[in-house]
Structure 1
Amino acid sequence: MSDLLYTDVEESLRSSVRGALQRVVEPGEVADLYDSPKDEAPAWSVLADLGLAGLLIPEEHDGAGASAREVAIVLEELGRTVAPAPFLESAVIATSVLLEAGDTDLLSALAAGERRAVLVLPWSARAGAWTAAESGSIAPVAGAIGADVFLVPTTVDGTVRLVAHDSAEVAEGDAAAAAVDAGLRAGAALLASEQLGLAQWCLTTTVEYAKTRVQFARPIGSFQAIKHRLADLYLEVAQAQAAARYAADTLARDDADAPVAQAVAQAYCSEVAVHAAEEALQLHGGIGMTWEHPVHLYLKRAKSDQLALGTPAAHRSDLAHLVDLPQH
Structure 2
Amino acid sequence: MTDIAAELRATVTAMLARIPVDTQTPITAPDAAVWDAVVDAGFTGVDVPEEAGGHGGELGDALAVLDSLTEAGAVTPYLEHALLASWLAGSVGHSLEGTTATVALIDDGTIRTDGDRILLSGNATGIPHIDGADIVVALTTTPDGPLVAVVTLEAPGVEVEVATDMQGVSYGDIVFRDAEASFSAPSPVGIEDLRRRGALAYAVALAAAAREVRERTVRYASERTQFGRPLAKFQAIQQRLAEMAAQTTLMETAARAATEAASGDPAAARTAIAAAKIVTSRYATEVASAGHQIHGAIGFTSEHSLGRFTSALWTWTDRYGTEQDWAASLAGEILDGGADPWDVIVAQDS
Taking structure 2 as the reference length, what is the TM-score of the superposition?
Answer: 0.77
Measure, in 1, the Cα distance between the counterparts of 2:318 and 2:242: 27
**Residues 161, 169 of structure 1: 8 Å contact kept:** no
**How much has 1:229 moved relative to structure 2?**
1.2
| Residue in structure 2 matched with residue 132 of structure 1 by the alignment | 108
Structure 1 position 197 matched with structure 2 position 208: yes
Aligned with 1:105 (options 94, 111, 119): 94
Aligned with 1:20 (options 11, 15, 19): 15
Structure 1 position 88 matched with structure 2 position 79: yes
| Residue in structure 1 matched with residue 253 of structure 2 by the alignment | 242
**1:184-234 deviation per Cα after TM superposition (whole angstroms, max 9, x unaligned):** 221211211111110110001100111111111111101111111111211
Q: Secondary structure at the match of 2:317?
A: helix
Q: CA separation of 1:42/1:179 partners in 2, compared to 1, >3 Å: closer, same or farther? A: farther
Q: Secondary structure at the match of 2:267?
A: coil
Amino acid at match of 1:246: A
Structure 1 position 11 matched with structure 2 position 6: yes
Identity of matched residues, %: 28
Aligned with 1:146 (options 124, 132, 137): 132
Aligned with 1:306 (options 317, 321, 330): 317
Aligned with 1:224 (options 228, 235, 238): 235
| Residue in structure 1 matched with residue 226 of structure 2 by the alignment | 215
Measure, in 2, the Cα distance between the counterparts of 1:309 and 1:133: 18
**Where does the alignment leave 5 or more consecutive residues of structure 2 unmatched?**
111-120, 152-179, 338-350
Measure, in 2, the Cα distance between the counterparts of 1:15 and 1:22: 11
Q: Which moved more, 1:59-68 or 1:78-87?
A: 59-68
Q: CA separation of 1:8/1:104 partners in 2, compared to 1, >3 Å: closer, same or farther? A: closer
Q: Secondary structure at the match of 1:256?
A: helix
Q: CA separation of 1:224/1:257 partners in 2, compared to 1, >3 Å: closer, same or farther? A: same
**How much has 1:20 moved relative to structure 2?**
1.9
Aligned with 2:181 (options 167, 177, 190): 167
Amino acid at match of 2:7: S
**How much has 1:312 moved relative to structure 2?**
0.8
**1:76-106 deviation per Cα after TM superposition (whole angstroms, max 9, x unaligned):** 1222133211111011111332344xx2132
Higher strand share: 2
Measure, in 1, the Cα distance between the counterparts of 2:253 and 2:145: 40
Q: Secondary structure at the match of 1:292?
A: coil
**How much has 1:139 moved relative to structure 2?**
3.5
Structure 1 position 119 matched with structure 2 position 103: yes
**How much has 1:153 moved relative to structure 2?**
4.1
Amino acid at match of 2:41: L
Measure, in 2, the Cα distance between the counterparts of 1:242 and 1:297: 23
Higher helix share: 1
Paired residues in the alignment total 299
**Residues 196, 237 of structure 1: 8 Å contact kept:** yes
**1:154-185 deviation per Cα after TM superposition (whole angstroms, max 9, x unaligned):** 5778976432214245335xx47x44333222
**Residues 79, 196 of structure 1: 8 Å contact kept:** no
**Residues 154, 162 of structure 1: 8 Å contact kept:** yes
**Where does the alignment leave 5 or more consecutive residues of structure 1 unmatched?**
1-5, 122-129
Amino acid at match of 1:225: A
- RMSD over equivalenced CA pairs, Å: 2.6
Q: Secondary structure at the match of 2:48?
A: coil
**How much has 1:282 moved relative to structure 2?**
1.2
What pairs up with 1:276-295 in 2 under 5 angstroms? 276-295=287-306
Measure, in 2, the Cα distance between the counterparts of 1:91 and 1:141: 15
Q: Secondary structure at the match of 1:24?
A: coil
Q: Which moved more, 1:229-238 or 1:150-159?
A: 150-159
Q: Secondary structure at the match of 1:170?
A: strand
